[in-house]
Chains A and B, each alone.
Chain A
Amino acid sequence: MTDLPRNQHIIASGLIAAVGISIAYISFTQEPADAFIFPRLISSVFAVLAIWTFVKALLGRTKVGNGISGVAMRNMLPGLIVAIIYVYWAAKALGFYTATAIAFFILLSLYDPSPHSEMKSWVKRILITAGFMAVMYGLFAQLLNVFTPREIFF
């Protein structure tokens, strides 16, 4: 029912089938066997269903899932890159509050519809970022006493 290229479904279901087969292989070859009884049960069903999905994708019979359009991919890519850097590197390396403030401001700048040419838009973004950081600090550092990794600047 979808017009999107079959290739996307083939790649996605192929990856899932590969994961399913790998899990089944590990479950049936790892020791001690008693610890893998339940994973064997699950991974067998997992692998069968994943292969079924893959074969359906190969035959072009995938009925659900609209995939990702080029426009959606182009729109999400900058935000996705910022989010990945923030989650997997910056939060630990720069400290939670520093990294969150930077990521928050960049995401606002990337996706906020207000025109970049107006000074007012930038002031608004800085104020929203500062307000959000104040709330986060109040909630997590003061209220919940969460000890986050050491900040790079303070």
Chain B
Amino acid sequence: MDFLFYMGDVFTPINFGLLLLGTIGGLILGATPGLSPTMAVALLIPFTFQLEPQQGLILLGAAYTSTVAGGAVSAILLKIPGAPANIATTLDGHTMATKGEGAKALQLSFIASAIGGLFGVFLLIFLTPVLAQWALAFGPSHLFWLAILGVTVIGTLDSSSVVKGLLSGCIGLWLATIGFDDIMGAQRFIFHPAVSGGINVIPALIGLFAIPQVITMFTKGRSSDDAEVISVQKHPIRLAFVEVFKRKTALAIGTITGSIIGLIPGVGGQIAGLVAYDQSKKFSKESEKFGTGHSEGVIAAESANNAMVGPSLVPLLTLSIPGSPTAAVLLGGLLIHGIFPGPDLFMNYPQVAWTFIDSMLIGQILMCIFGLYIAGLAASVARVPHAVMAAIVLGLAVFGSYSVQNSMGDVYVMGTLGLAMYFLERFGFSAAPLVLGLILGPIAEANFIQGSMIANATVGTGTYFFTGWLNWLLIIIVLASIGYSVWMEVMARRYTTKEEAVAKEEALS
């Protein structure tokens, strides 16, 4: 019950103020189409430099939680999902809004999000210490395979092409080797002075997530979305609570589906929302009402996409393997404070770890309270023209990257990686595996070298890396994730028309 011991730390004036700031800011950012939770958190990292580690994490964690929930506002009122996680919410949420039930849809979405989110964080609280204890037994070979697993799982499950997903992961792993080698001190791939110290993760994250969005906004030209914000009539909140608890099956399916999907690295909130929506429809007694503005659709989708937030941090906090791009960005936020997550995080920095987790618990409740009150304001922000949004994000990206080390080199790295990522995305490559490769590359290399040294002095490299049940378990998961994704890709191609594939890619980009 360590989490109760550190609960008081969340309520210190600075910590609670940051929690409020992150929650309200996140709700507004989340409602803004084009600003994904990952990008919002990446742009926020430079603002955490001068904060204590737990304060920085509280801000980032609150922003992560509430951007996912805030995306429901524009999904319901504008029919534009604020983030991919809110795609399923649009199906029934917007229809409810057009029928004059916008307020009800928003209330249902925030209440369901909070319930799903609380369940997810409790899962994080109870699973993390158990897994962290287990992870203490990991040696260099296991950590090497774990790092490879992180890259391959995200590379295969998060991409529309397995080969391109793995290739993105390789690009990330290669980028991580740029700079001076840790053991020999030899120069590797230093083709410009800007990368002589290696590629700093924070400017890279900002570039990879923010710049492609900026360029995508440019491609829309001078057109405006002309999305009409549907006015919201008053709806008693008590009735919304009654409705959510009346729809227990949808709530349970959404919460459990989201939590399970959150635990699997690489499977994001978008999948959680859609799978929960689909399953709720199958189990519902009123399945014919789905898509026509049915409350169960909103409850299932929103409880799922927030339930996955907590569990998605379990692999990060226990094994130092970020399970999602946003978790990778949070890892960047920890690394700048010299804290490396993993099995010993809870022993060396219990205050940081538990205050962060506790803040996510309180953040869910704050997100629900403030979400209900500022939904209207958030919807107005969602109508900010692309031009303004693109210029703001570009300015923040340049200042944010520079402020990491007061170095122009970081700005060049941010710009170059961002520009390259935009073009890579247009040709079917994904940023998530690249980021995971960049972050996990040093972990993989350090453990590979350390393991090789031990192996050379003992049983030999082949035996050391390819024997033992844990090594084999990890290798089998790596191979299974690749095999499963190849099979899914083949099946998807067999049953998807050319038009559907093109439309899907356009929607995702």
Contact = CB atoms under 8 A, between A and B. Distances in A.
A53 B167 contact: yes
B403 A111 contact: no
A38 B177 contact: yes
A148 B166 CA distance: 38
Contact of B215 (A2, A37, A71, A76): A76
A126 interface: no
Contacts of A1: 493, 496, 498, 501-502
Interface string B183-225: 1101011000000000000000000000000110111111110
Greatest chain B CB density within 10 A among A12, A31, A39 is at: A39
Given A1-B493, A46-B170, A50-B167, A75 B505 contact: no
Contact of B170 (A45, A75, A110): A45
Contacts of B415: 83-84, 87-88
B137 interface: no
B188 A34 contact: no
Nearest to B400: A140
Interface stretch (B272-280, B357-365, B445-453): B445-453
B509 interface: yes
Interface size class of A (residues with CB under 8 A): 35 or more
Nearest to A101: B395
A35 B186 contact: yes
Nearest to B445: A38
B161 interface: yes
B193 to A, nearest CB: 14
B341 to A, nearest CB: 22
Contacts of A53: 163-164, 167
Interface in B145-174: 160-161, 163-164, 166-167, 170-171, 173-174
B449 A91 contact: no
Interface residues of B, number: 72
A4 to B, nearest CB: 9
Interface string A50-89: 1011001000001111111001101110111001101110
A148 to B, nearest CB: 7
A152 interface: no
A134 interface: no
A148 B197 CA distance: 20
Where chain A touches its partner, the secondary structure class is helix
A87 B411 contact: yes
B402 A148 contact: yes
A32 B47 CA distance: 40
A138 to B, nearest CB: 12
Contacts of A145: 50
Interface of B is mostly: helix
A8 to B, nearest CB: 7
Contacts of B399: 96, 100, 136, 139-140, 146, 148
B387 A111 contact: yes
B189 A26 contact: yes
Interface in B434-491: 441, 444-445, 448-449, 452
Contacts of B218: 75-76, 78-80, 83, 111
Contacts of A92: 408
Contacts of A62: 428
Contacts, number: 202
B330 interface: no
B263 to A, nearest CB: 27
B348 interface: no
A42 B220 CA distance: 37
A76 to B, nearest CB: 4
Contacts of B167: 16, 46, 49-50, 53
Contact of A12 (B223, B408, B423): B423
B394 interface: yes
A64 B161 contact: yes
A88 B403 contact: no
B141 to A, nearest CB: 14
B288 interface: no
Contacts of B160: 64
Contact of A128 (B388, B394, B426, B502): B388
A32 B414 CA distance: 30
Interface string A22-49: 0100100011101111110111011001
A49 B433 CA distance: 14
A74 B70 CA distance: 33
B181 A76 contact: no
B227 interface: no
A100 B412 contact: no
A147 interface: yes
The 6 closest A-B CB pairs, nearest first, are: A65-B428, A111-B387, A64-B428, A79-B218, A35-B186, A75-B221
Interface of B: 46-47, 49-50, 160-161, 163-164, 166-167, 170-171, 173-174, 177, 181, 183-184, 186, 188-189, 214-215, 217-224, 385-388, 390-392, 394-396, 398-399, 402-403, 406, 408, 411-412, 414-415, 419, 423-424, 426-429, 441, 444-445, 448-449, 452, 493, 496, 498, 501-502, 505-506, 509
26 contacts: A1-B493, A12-B424, A13-B427, A35-B186, A35-B188, A36-B186, A39-B177, A43-B174, A46-B173, A49-B167, A52-B163, A53-B163, A53-B167, A63-B161, A65-B429, A66-B506, A74-B221, A87-B411, A87-B414, A87-B415, A88-B412, A100-B399, A103-B394, A104-B392, A145-B50, A146-B402
